[in-house]
């Protein structure tokens, strides 16, 4: 299973966390919210690194990710990113 598939599986599991999962009365993310998050992950560019996903209070889903940022351009056309 790829990392992306594992993330999608984890997002789908949020449907089963139950009401008050955070002990503050939070609702479970709706199927519509879950599917929007799944779609975003499935369609994200390959260079986006998904670091963590979690439900958040009020029925939402948070996706922590990293996108390499270009910080330099060389005359020969190469680029220097913060990951180089």
DSSP 5-67: HHHHHHHHHGGGS-TTTTSS-PPPPPHHHHHHHHHHHHHS-TT-EEEEEEEETTTEEEEEEE-
Q: What is the pLDDT of residue 82?
A: 66
pLDDT at 70: 64
Domain boundaries, the chain: 3-81
pLDDT tens across 25-74, in order? 999 999 999 999 999 999 998 889 999 999 999 999 999 998 877 678 77
**Which residue's structure tokens are 């999962």?**
21
81 bridge partner residues: 70
Q: What is the pLDDT of residue 80?
A: 75
Helices 31-43 and 3-13 sit at what angle, rounded to 10 degrees? 170
**From the CA atom positions of the chain, what is the Rg in Å?**
17
Global pTM reads 0.81
Confidence at residue 75, expressed as pLDDT on a 0 to 100 scale:
82
Whether residue 22 is predicted with pLDDT greater than 60 in this model: the reply is yes
DSSP 59-77: TEEEEEEE---EEEE-TTS
> pLDDT tier at 81 (50, 70, 90 boundaries)?
confident
């Amino acid at each position: 299973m790829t990392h992306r598939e594992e993330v999608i599986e984890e997002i789908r599991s949020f449907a089963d966390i139950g009401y008050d999962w955070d002990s503050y009365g939070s609702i479970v993310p709706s199927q519509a919210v879950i599917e929007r998050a799944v779609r975003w992950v499935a369609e994200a560019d390959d260079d986006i690194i998904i670091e963590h996903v979690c439900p958040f209070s009020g029925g939402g889903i948070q996706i922590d990710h990293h996108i390499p940022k270009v910080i330099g351009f060389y005359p020969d056309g190469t680029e220097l990113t913060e990951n180089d």
